[in-house]
Amino acid sequence: MPRQGQIWSWISFDVANQSFTLIINTLLFSIFFSEVVVRTPAIDDRIWALTYGTSMLLTALLSPIAGAAADARAWKKRCLIGTGLTCSLFTCGLAFIQPGQIWLAVLLYVPANLAFSIGENFLASFLPFLGPSNKIGRVSGFSWAISYSSALVLLLITAALMLGLDLRHADQWRPFFVVAGLWFLVFTIPTLVWLKEPPLEEAPDAQENILVAGFSRLRDSLRHVYQYRDLAVLLAASLFYATSMSVVVFFASKLAAEYGFNQVKLVLFVAVITVSGIFGTILPTLYQDRFGHRRTTVVLLLVWLATALGFALYAYLHQVYSARGELATFPVWPLWVVGNLLGFGLGALGTANRAFVGYLAPPERTAEAFGLWGLTLKVSAIMTFPFAWVRDTAGTPSALLVLAGFLVVGLLLTMMVDEKRGYLAAHPDPWSASPNGLRSNTSM
Protein backbone atom coordinates (compact mmCIF):
# COMPACT_ATOMS: atom_id res chain seq x y z
CA MET A 1 0.00 0.00 0.00
CA PRO A 2 1.22 3.54 -0.77
CA ARG A 3 1.02 6.43 1.71
CA GLN A 4 1.91 4.31 4.72
CA GLY A 5 2.54 7.36 6.91
CA GLN A 6 -0.90 8.75 6.15
CA ILE A 7 -2.59 5.41 6.81
CA TRP A 8 -0.88 4.87 10.17
CA SER A 9 -1.46 8.44 11.35
CA TRP A 10 -5.15 7.94 10.47
CA ILE A 11 -5.31 4.57 12.23
CA SER A 12 -3.82 6.18 15.33
CA PHE A 13 -7.03 8.18 15.85
CA ASP A 14 -9.06 4.98 15.40
CA VAL A 15 -7.01 3.55 18.27
CA ALA A 16 -7.39 6.76 20.31
CA ASN A 17 -11.18 6.79 20.40
CA GLN A 18 -11.38 3.20 21.59
CA SER A 19 -10.70 4.42 25.12
CA PHE A 20 -13.94 6.39 25.13
CA THR A 21 -16.15 3.84 23.43
CA LEU A 22 -14.92 0.99 25.66
CA ILE A 23 -14.14 2.44 29.10
CA ILE A 24 -16.73 5.23 29.13
CA ASN A 25 -19.66 4.11 26.98
CA THR A 26 -19.48 0.32 27.22
CA LEU A 27 -17.98 -0.64 30.56
CA LEU A 28 -17.81 1.86 33.39
CA PHE A 29 -19.41 5.27 33.18
CA SER A 30 -23.06 4.22 32.96
CA ILE A 31 -22.61 2.19 36.15
CA PHE A 32 -20.69 5.04 37.83
CA PHE A 33 -23.44 7.46 36.79
CA SER A 34 -26.17 5.29 38.29
CA GLU A 35 -24.48 4.04 41.47
CA VAL A 36 -22.33 7.03 42.43
CA VAL A 37 -23.84 10.15 40.87
CA VAL A 38 -27.61 9.56 40.87
CA ARG A 39 -27.87 6.93 43.62
CA THR A 40 -31.65 6.60 43.15
CA PRO A 41 -32.59 3.30 41.48
CA ALA A 42 -36.07 4.54 40.66
CA ILE A 43 -34.81 7.25 38.30
CA ASP A 44 -31.19 6.45 37.42
CA ASP A 45 -31.95 4.58 34.18
CA ARG A 46 -34.23 7.35 32.94
CA ILE A 47 -31.71 10.10 33.68
CA TRP A 48 -28.93 8.12 31.99
CA ALA A 49 -31.12 7.42 28.96
CA LEU A 50 -32.01 11.13 28.74
CA THR A 51 -28.33 12.13 29.02
CA TYR A 52 -27.15 9.66 26.40
CA GLY A 53 -30.12 10.41 24.16
CA THR A 54 -29.42 14.15 24.31
CA SER A 55 -25.85 13.64 23.12
CA MET A 56 -27.07 11.40 20.29
CA LEU A 57 -29.76 13.87 19.25
CA LEU A 58 -27.21 16.70 19.10
CA THR A 59 -24.88 14.48 17.09
CA ALA A 60 -27.63 13.58 14.65
CA LEU A 61 -28.57 17.23 14.17
CA LEU A 62 -25.03 18.54 13.81
CA SER A 63 -23.34 15.75 11.82
CA PRO A 64 -24.55 16.63 8.28
CA ILE A 65 -23.99 20.38 8.57
CA ALA A 66 -20.62 19.94 10.30
CA GLY A 67 -19.50 17.60 7.52
CA ALA A 68 -20.68 19.96 4.79
CA ALA A 69 -18.93 22.90 6.45
CA ALA A 70 -15.69 20.93 6.80
CA ASP A 71 -15.80 20.06 3.11
CA ALA A 72 -16.45 23.67 2.15
CA ARG A 73 -13.38 25.00 3.98
CA ALA A 74 -11.09 21.93 3.89
CA TRP A 75 -11.31 21.71 7.68
CA LYS A 76 -11.63 17.93 8.03
CA LYS A 77 -8.34 17.56 9.91
CA ARG A 78 -8.94 20.66 11.99
CA CYS A 79 -12.36 19.39 13.03
CA LEU A 80 -11.04 15.87 13.66
CA ILE A 81 -8.28 17.08 15.97
CA GLY A 82 -10.68 19.50 17.67
CA THR A 83 -13.11 16.71 18.50
CA GLY A 84 -10.27 14.51 19.80
CA LEU A 85 -8.89 17.17 22.13
CA THR A 86 -12.38 18.11 23.32
CA CYS A 87 -13.32 14.53 24.07
CA SER A 88 -10.01 13.93 25.86
CA LEU A 89 -10.43 17.01 28.07
CA PHE A 90 -14.03 16.34 29.06
CA THR A 91 -13.32 12.63 29.61
CA CYS A 92 -10.61 13.49 32.14
CA GLY A 93 -13.10 15.86 33.75
CA LEU A 94 -15.45 12.96 34.51
CA ALA A 95 -13.05 11.96 37.30
CA PHE A 96 -13.99 15.08 39.29
CA ILE A 97 -17.71 14.27 39.54
CA GLN A 98 -18.88 13.76 43.11
CA PRO A 99 -22.02 11.98 44.41
CA GLY A 100 -25.17 13.92 43.64
CA GLN A 101 -23.57 16.19 41.00
CA ILE A 102 -25.95 15.13 38.24
CA TRP A 103 -25.77 18.38 36.29
CA LEU A 104 -21.97 18.34 36.30
CA ALA A 105 -22.04 14.78 35.00
CA VAL A 106 -24.44 15.79 32.22
CA LEU A 107 -22.44 18.90 31.31
CA LEU A 108 -19.24 16.85 31.05
CA TYR A 109 -20.56 13.69 29.40
CA VAL A 110 -22.78 15.24 26.71
CA PRO A 111 -20.01 17.30 25.02
CA ALA A 112 -17.55 14.41 25.44
CA ASN A 113 -19.84 11.94 23.69
CA LEU A 114 -20.83 14.55 21.10
CA ALA A 115 -17.18 15.19 20.25
CA PHE A 116 -16.42 11.45 20.14
CA SER A 117 -19.40 10.70 17.88
CA ILE A 118 -18.85 13.53 15.39
CA GLY A 119 -15.12 12.75 15.40
CA GLU A 120 -15.94 9.28 14.06
CA ASN A 121 -17.56 10.94 11.04
CA PHE A 122 -14.59 13.19 10.34
CA LEU A 123 -12.22 10.24 10.73
CA ALA A 124 -14.16 8.17 8.20
CA SER A 125 -14.19 11.07 5.72
CA PHE A 126 -10.43 10.61 5.17
CA LEU A 127 -10.84 6.99 4.08
CA PRO A 128 -11.31 7.60 0.31
CA PHE A 129 -8.05 9.59 0.21
CA LEU A 130 -5.79 7.02 1.89
CA GLY A 131 -5.32 4.77 -1.11
CA PRO A 132 -6.75 3.79 -4.51
CA SER A 133 -10.45 2.99 -4.69
CA ASN A 134 -9.73 -0.71 -5.21
CA LYS A 135 -7.99 -0.86 -1.80
CA ILE A 136 -10.51 1.05 0.32
CA GLY A 137 -11.92 -2.10 1.92
CA ARG A 138 -8.43 -3.25 2.86
CA VAL A 139 -7.59 0.04 4.57
CA SER A 140 -10.90 0.20 6.43
CA GLY A 141 -10.72 -3.42 7.55
CA PHE A 142 -7.12 -3.21 8.69
CA SER A 143 -7.83 -0.07 10.71
CA TRP A 144 -10.90 -1.67 12.27
CA ALA A 145 -8.81 -4.72 13.23
CA ILE A 146 -6.16 -2.54 14.87
CA SER A 147 -8.79 -0.57 16.79
CA TYR A 148 -10.50 -3.78 17.98
CA SER A 149 -7.13 -5.10 19.11
CA SER A 150 -6.47 -1.90 21.04
CA ALA A 151 -9.89 -2.27 22.67
CA LEU A 152 -8.91 -5.76 23.78
CA VAL A 153 -5.68 -4.37 25.26
CA LEU A 154 -7.67 -1.71 27.10
CA LEU A 155 -10.08 -4.36 28.36
CA LEU A 156 -7.20 -6.45 29.74
CA ILE A 157 -5.55 -3.40 31.34
CA THR A 158 -8.83 -2.39 32.98
CA ALA A 159 -9.49 -5.89 34.29
CA ALA A 160 -5.91 -6.23 35.59
CA LEU A 161 -6.07 -2.90 37.44
CA MET A 162 -9.46 -3.72 38.92
CA LEU A 163 -8.26 -7.07 40.23
CA GLY A 164 -4.73 -6.03 41.17
CA LEU A 165 -5.73 -2.82 43.01
CA ASP A 166 -9.12 -4.13 44.16
CA LEU A 167 -10.99 -1.31 42.40
CA ARG A 168 -14.31 -3.10 42.27
CA HIS A 169 -16.59 -0.37 43.63
CA ALA A 170 -17.84 2.21 41.13
CA ASP A 171 -16.69 5.08 43.38
CA GLN A 172 -13.09 3.88 42.86
CA TRP A 173 -13.22 4.09 39.05
CA ARG A 174 -12.31 7.78 38.61
CA PRO A 175 -8.67 6.98 37.67
CA PHE A 176 -9.95 4.96 34.73
CA PHE A 177 -11.64 8.06 33.32
CA VAL A 178 -8.33 9.94 33.44
CA VAL A 179 -6.59 6.99 31.77
CA ALA A 180 -9.23 7.00 29.03
CA GLY A 181 -8.78 10.72 28.41
CA LEU A 182 -4.99 10.53 28.35
CA TRP A 183 -5.07 7.49 26.03
CA PHE A 184 -7.24 9.50 23.64
CA LEU A 185 -4.85 12.46 23.84
CA VAL A 186 -1.65 10.44 23.30
CA PHE A 187 -2.89 8.57 20.23
CA THR A 188 -4.30 11.77 18.74
CA ILE A 189 -0.77 13.22 18.53
CA PRO A 190 0.38 11.18 15.46
CA THR A 191 -2.79 12.24 13.66
CA LEU A 192 -2.12 15.87 14.54
CA VAL A 193 1.50 15.72 13.37
CA TRP A 194 1.37 13.61 10.20
CA LEU A 195 -2.15 13.31 8.76
CA LYS A 196 -2.67 15.72 5.85
CA GLU A 197 -5.83 17.52 4.85
CA PRO A 198 -7.15 16.34 1.44
CA PRO A 199 -6.91 19.22 -1.06
CA LEU A 200 -9.95 21.06 -2.37
CA GLU A 201 -10.64 21.11 -6.10
CA GLU A 202 -11.64 24.77 -5.79
CA ALA A 203 -10.32 27.39 -3.38
CA PRO A 204 -12.84 28.13 -0.60
CA ASP A 205 -14.51 31.52 -0.38
CA ALA A 206 -12.89 32.98 2.73
CA GLN A 207 -15.55 35.70 2.92
CA GLU A 208 -18.45 33.27 3.17
CA ASN A 209 -19.69 32.42 6.63
CA ILE A 210 -18.77 28.82 7.50
CA LEU A 211 -22.32 27.91 8.58
CA VAL A 212 -23.77 29.49 5.45
CA ALA A 213 -21.27 27.52 3.36
CA GLY A 214 -22.19 24.30 5.13
CA PHE A 215 -25.94 24.78 4.71
CA SER A 216 -25.43 25.79 1.09
CA ARG A 217 -23.49 22.61 0.27
CA LEU A 218 -25.98 20.44 2.13
CA ARG A 219 -28.91 22.07 0.31
CA ASP A 220 -27.13 21.53 -3.00
CA SER A 221 -26.61 17.85 -2.20
CA LEU A 222 -30.29 17.39 -1.35
CA ARG A 223 -31.24 18.97 -4.67
CA HIS A 224 -29.08 16.44 -6.50
CA VAL A 225 -29.90 13.44 -4.35
CA TYR A 226 -31.09 11.47 -7.40
CA GLN A 227 -27.61 11.75 -8.88
CA TYR A 228 -26.27 9.95 -5.81
CA ARG A 229 -29.29 7.69 -5.34
CA ASP A 230 -27.21 4.57 -4.73
CA LEU A 231 -25.37 6.26 -1.88
CA ALA A 232 -28.74 7.44 -0.51
CA VAL A 233 -30.17 3.91 -0.65
CA LEU A 234 -27.03 2.55 1.04
CA LEU A 235 -27.40 5.08 3.85
CA ALA A 236 -31.04 4.03 4.28
CA ALA A 237 -29.95 0.38 4.43
CA SER A 238 -27.23 1.31 6.90
CA LEU A 239 -29.87 2.73 9.23
CA PHE A 240 -31.58 -0.66 9.55
CA TYR A 241 -28.59 -2.91 10.01
CA ALA A 242 -26.87 -0.31 12.20
CA THR A 243 -29.93 -0.62 14.42
CA SER A 244 -29.23 -4.34 14.77
CA MET A 245 -25.61 -3.52 15.61
CA SER A 246 -26.76 -1.02 18.24
CA VAL A 247 -28.96 -3.69 19.78
CA VAL A 248 -25.94 -5.99 20.13
CA VAL A 249 -23.81 -3.24 21.68
CA PHE A 250 -26.48 -2.04 24.12
CA PHE A 251 -28.11 -5.35 25.05
CA ALA A 252 -25.43 -8.06 24.71
CA SER A 253 -24.55 -8.03 28.40
CA LYS A 254 -28.21 -7.96 29.47
CA LEU A 255 -29.06 -10.84 27.16
CA ALA A 256 -26.13 -12.88 28.46
CA ALA A 257 -27.13 -12.11 32.07
CA GLU A 258 -30.65 -13.30 31.28
CA TYR A 259 -29.23 -16.75 30.57
CA GLY A 260 -27.25 -17.07 33.78
CA PHE A 261 -23.90 -15.40 33.06
CA ASN A 262 -22.33 -14.01 36.25
CA GLN A 263 -19.93 -11.03 36.34
CA VAL A 264 -16.88 -13.11 35.39
CA LYS A 265 -18.66 -14.75 32.48
CA LEU A 266 -20.03 -11.38 31.36
CA VAL A 267 -16.50 -9.98 31.10
CA LEU A 268 -15.46 -13.08 29.18
CA PHE A 269 -18.50 -12.73 26.95
CA VAL A 270 -17.52 -9.12 26.09
CA ALA A 271 -13.95 -10.30 25.50
CA VAL A 272 -15.20 -13.05 23.17
CA ILE A 273 -17.25 -10.53 21.18
CA THR A 274 -14.20 -8.26 20.94
CA VAL A 275 -11.83 -11.03 19.79
CA SER A 276 -14.40 -12.29 17.28
CA GLY A 277 -14.73 -8.71 16.04
CA ILE A 278 -10.99 -8.69 15.29
CA PHE A 279 -11.34 -11.86 13.23
CA GLY A 280 -14.44 -10.39 11.61
CA THR A 281 -12.42 -7.55 10.12
CA ILE A 282 -10.20 -10.00 8.25
CA LEU A 283 -12.88 -10.89 5.68
CA PRO A 284 -13.44 -7.33 4.38
CA THR A 285 -9.71 -6.57 4.64
CA LEU A 286 -8.74 -9.46 2.37
CA TYR A 287 -11.72 -9.91 0.08
CA GLN A 288 -14.08 -6.91 -0.02
CA ASP A 289 -12.25 -4.98 -2.74
CA ARG A 290 -12.08 -8.04 -5.00
CA PHE A 291 -15.43 -9.61 -4.13
CA GLY A 292 -17.34 -6.32 -4.32
CA HIS A 293 -18.72 -4.08 -1.61
CA ARG A 294 -22.34 -5.04 -2.13
CA ARG A 295 -21.67 -8.76 -2.35
CA THR A 296 -19.62 -8.63 0.85
CA THR A 297 -22.33 -6.70 2.70
CA VAL A 298 -25.07 -9.08 1.52
CA VAL A 299 -23.11 -12.15 2.66
CA LEU A 300 -22.46 -10.62 6.07
CA LEU A 301 -26.11 -9.63 6.47
CA LEU A 302 -27.18 -13.19 5.66
CA VAL A 303 -24.80 -14.52 8.33
CA TRP A 304 -26.17 -12.08 10.88
CA LEU A 305 -29.76 -12.86 9.91
CA ALA A 306 -29.12 -16.59 10.44
CA THR A 307 -27.50 -15.76 13.79
CA ALA A 308 -30.49 -13.66 14.91
CA LEU A 309 -32.94 -16.40 13.97
CA GLY A 310 -30.77 -19.02 15.70
CA PHE A 311 -30.62 -16.86 18.82
CA ALA A 312 -34.42 -16.48 18.73
CA LEU A 313 -34.78 -20.28 18.60
CA TYR A 314 -32.35 -20.64 21.52
CA ALA A 315 -34.31 -18.08 23.56
CA TYR A 316 -37.59 -19.87 22.80
CA LEU A 317 -36.18 -23.25 23.84
CA HIS A 318 -34.82 -21.64 27.01
CA GLN A 319 -38.36 -20.55 27.87
CA VAL A 320 -39.66 -24.06 27.19
CA TYR A 321 -37.05 -25.67 29.43
CA SER A 322 -37.68 -23.05 32.12
CA ALA A 323 -41.42 -23.78 32.10
CA ARG A 324 -40.66 -27.47 32.53
CA GLY A 325 -38.21 -26.83 35.36
CA GLU A 326 -35.39 -28.42 33.34
CA LEU A 327 -32.97 -25.49 33.02
CA ALA A 328 -30.23 -27.50 34.68
CA THR A 329 -30.06 -29.66 31.53
CA PHE A 330 -30.28 -26.77 29.08
CA PRO A 331 -26.99 -26.30 27.15
CA VAL A 332 -25.04 -23.04 27.44
CA TRP A 333 -22.54 -23.61 24.63
CA PRO A 334 -24.89 -22.31 21.85
CA LEU A 335 -24.82 -18.88 23.52
CA TRP A 336 -21.03 -18.79 23.18
CA VAL A 337 -21.41 -19.65 19.48
CA VAL A 338 -23.94 -16.84 19.10
CA GLY A 339 -21.58 -14.45 20.89
CA ASN A 340 -18.77 -15.30 18.50
CA LEU A 341 -21.00 -14.82 15.45
CA LEU A 342 -22.36 -11.51 16.80
CA GLY A 343 -18.84 -10.25 17.45
CA PHE A 344 -17.71 -11.41 14.01
CA GLY A 345 -20.62 -9.54 12.45
CA LEU A 346 -19.93 -6.36 14.41
CA GLY A 347 -16.36 -6.22 13.16
CA ALA A 348 -17.02 -7.34 9.60
CA LEU A 349 -20.23 -5.44 8.91
CA GLY A 350 -18.94 -2.27 10.57
CA THR A 351 -15.81 -2.00 8.47
CA ALA A 352 -17.53 -3.22 5.29
CA ASN A 353 -20.21 -0.56 5.64
CA ARG A 354 -17.68 2.23 6.24
CA ALA A 355 -15.70 1.18 3.16
CA PHE A 356 -18.85 0.90 1.01
CA VAL A 357 -19.94 4.45 1.94
CA GLY A 358 -16.42 5.71 1.23
CA TYR A 359 -16.45 3.98 -2.15
CA LEU A 360 -19.68 5.73 -3.21
CA ALA A 361 -18.91 9.13 -1.63
CA PRO A 362 -17.98 12.00 -4.00
CA PRO A 363 -14.37 12.97 -3.20
CA GLU A 364 -15.25 16.64 -2.79
CA ARG A 365 -18.05 15.79 -0.32
CA THR A 366 -16.63 13.01 1.83
CA ALA A 367 -17.10 14.77 5.17
CA GLU A 368 -20.68 15.59 4.21
CA ALA A 369 -21.36 12.01 3.12
CA PHE A 370 -19.93 10.62 6.33
CA GLY A 371 -21.81 13.27 8.29
CA LEU A 372 -25.00 11.76 6.87
CA TRP A 373 -23.59 8.31 7.62
CA GLY A 374 -23.01 9.42 11.20
CA LEU A 375 -26.58 10.69 11.32
CA THR A 376 -27.91 7.25 10.37
CA LEU A 377 -25.76 5.54 13.01
CA LYS A 378 -26.96 7.88 15.75
CA VAL A 379 -30.60 7.54 14.73
CA SER A 380 -30.11 3.76 14.80
CA ALA A 381 -29.46 4.01 18.55
CA ILE A 382 -32.92 5.55 18.94
CA MET A 383 -34.46 2.85 16.76
CA THR A 384 -33.49 0.18 19.30
CA PHE A 385 -36.66 1.14 21.21
CA PRO A 386 -38.92 -1.35 19.32
CA PHE A 387 -36.56 -4.17 20.32
CA ALA A 388 -36.57 -3.04 23.96
CA TRP A 389 -40.36 -2.58 24.00
CA VAL A 390 -41.08 -6.00 22.48
CA ARG A 391 -38.56 -7.62 24.85
CA ASP A 392 -40.30 -6.07 27.87
CA THR A 393 -43.81 -6.93 26.68
CA ALA A 394 -43.50 -10.15 24.68
CA GLY A 395 -40.15 -11.65 25.71
CA THR A 396 -36.71 -12.08 24.23
CA PRO A 397 -37.62 -14.57 21.43
CA SER A 398 -40.09 -12.10 19.91
CA ALA A 399 -37.63 -9.23 20.30
CA LEU A 400 -34.99 -11.19 18.41
CA LEU A 401 -37.46 -11.66 15.58
CA VAL A 402 -37.81 -7.86 15.48
CA LEU A 403 -34.02 -7.71 15.22
CA ALA A 404 -34.18 -10.16 12.31
CA GLY A 405 -36.80 -7.92 10.69
CA PHE A 406 -34.43 -4.95 10.77
CA LEU A 407 -31.79 -7.09 9.08
CA VAL A 408 -34.22 -8.20 6.36
CA VAL A 409 -35.09 -4.59 5.52
CA GLY A 410 -31.41 -3.65 5.45
CA LEU A 411 -30.66 -6.63 3.23
CA LEU A 412 -33.40 -5.77 0.72
CA LEU A 413 -32.29 -2.13 0.51
CA THR A 414 -28.64 -3.16 0.08
CA MET A 415 -29.58 -5.37 -2.85
CA MET A 416 -31.13 -2.32 -4.53
CA VAL A 417 -27.75 -0.54 -4.61
CA ASP A 418 -26.02 -0.54 -8.00
CA GLU A 419 -22.37 -0.43 -6.94
CA LYS A 420 -20.89 0.42 -10.33
CA ARG A 421 -23.48 3.10 -11.11
CA GLY A 422 -22.99 4.68 -7.70
CA TYR A 423 -19.21 4.82 -8.15
CA LEU A 424 -19.49 6.41 -11.59
CA ALA A 425 -21.92 9.01 -10.22
CA ALA A 426 -19.41 9.98 -7.52
CA HIS A 427 -16.42 9.87 -9.93
CA PRO A 428 -17.53 11.18 -13.35
CA ASP A 429 -13.95 10.77 -14.60
CA PRO A 430 -13.19 7.32 -13.11
CA TRP A 431 -9.74 6.91 -14.65
CA SER A 432 -8.44 9.93 -12.78
CA ALA A 433 -10.24 9.05 -9.54
CA SER A 434 -7.54 6.75 -8.28
CA PRO A 435 -4.00 5.69 -9.15
CA ASN A 436 -5.22 2.32 -10.39
CA GLY A 437 -8.29 3.53 -12.24
CA LEU A 438 -11.79 2.11 -11.90
CA ARG A 439 -11.77 -1.37 -10.46
CA SER A 440 -13.46 -4.14 -12.37
CA ASN A 441 -16.03 -5.38 -9.85
CA THR A 442 -19.54 -5.53 -11.23
CA SER A 443 -22.76 -5.38 -9.31
CA MET A 444 -24.19 -8.51 -7.85
Note whether residue 233 is domain-resident: yes
3-state helix, strand, coil in the chain (%, to 5): 80, 0, 20
217 confidence band (pLDDT: 50, 70, 90): low
Note whether residue 25 is domain-resident: yes
Q: Give residue 96's pLDDT.
A: 95
170 pLDDT higher than 90: no
At residue 351, what are phi and psi to the nearest 5 degrees? Answer: -70, -35
**What residues make up the domain containing 253?**
4-193+215-425
Q: Give residue 61's pLDDT.
A: 81
Note whether residue 16 is domain-resident: yes
Note whether residue 210 is domain-resident: no
Note whether residue 338 is domain-resident: yes
In the chain, how many domains are there? Answer: 1
Predicted TM-score (pTM) of this structure = 0.75
Q: How many CB atoms lie within 10 A of CB 407?
A: 25
207 confidence band (pLDDT: 50, 70, 90): low
Note whether residue 443 is domain-resident: no
Q: Give residue 437's pLDDT.
A: 40
Eight-state DSSP code of residue 364: G
pLDDT in tens, 56-91: 888 888 888 888 778 777 889 999 999 999 999 999
Which region among 5-14, 52-61, 219-228 has the lowest average model confidence (pLDDT)?
219-228
Say which residue, 282 or 82, is predicted with more confidence: 82
Say which residue, 20 or 198, is predicted with more confidence: 20
Note whether residue 314 is domain-resident: yes
d(Cα 239, Cα 406) in Å, to the nearest integer? 9
Where in 334-436 does DSSP place strands (E)?
Answer: none
| 37 neighbors 102 (Cβ within 8 angstroms) | yes
> Which of 333, 354, 228, 232 shows the shortest CA–CA distance to 284?
354
CATH of the domain at 55: 1.20.1250.20
Q: Give residue 440's pLDDT.
A: 37
Note whether residue 435 is domain-resident: no
